[in-house]
Amino acid sequence: QKEVEQNSGPLSVPEGAIASLNCTYSDRVSQSFFWYRQYSGKSPELIMSIYSNGDKEDGRFTAQLNKASQYVSLLIRDSQPSDSATYLCAVVGDMDSNYQLIWGAGTKLIIKP
């Protein structure tokens, strides 16, 4: 069974520091990886997509992918209290599954002022 693993947290980070969120996945053929942010009572919001090994930067966010280690991470620089949310890692299944997302359970991030 394909799985995506995340530490549930909560992960507490002081304001202005770097928050590091990690995710591992079990399916070696996975090609597409996503980070979603979900505020309490709201729906998930796509913040990063990554498809190739290495780093991808977008503003304060950097996604890192290592397919050999089956590991994807999200770094948030200069963390702000508004970054406090649950961060969901998701991996796309194959075409036969209609590209269903396989979800991690999410990591709750708390940025302390």
Partner 1 sequence: GAVVSQHPSRVICKSGTSVKIECRSLDFQATTMFWYRQFPKQSLMLMATSNEGSKATYEQGVEKDKFLINHASLTLSTLTVTSAHPEDSSFYICSASRVSGDYNEQFFGPGTRLTVL
In this chain, which of 20, 22, 49, 70 binds partner 1, going by CB under 8 A? 49
Shortest CB 108 distance to partner 1, Å: 10
Q: Among the candidate windows 9-17, 18-26, 66-74, 93-101, which touches partner 1 by CB under 8 A?
A: 93-101
Reading phi first (left if > 0) and then psi (alpha if -120 to 50, else beta), residue 70 is in left
What amino acid occupies position 12? S
Quick one: 82 exposed, middle or buried, by C-beta within 10 A (0-12, 13-18, 19+)?
Answer: exposed
Does 30 sit near partner 1 (CB under 8 A)?
no
Tokens linked to 37: 């942010």
Binding site for partner 1 (CB under 8 A): 32, 34, 36, 41-46, 49, 51, 88, 90, 92, 98-101, 103, 105-106
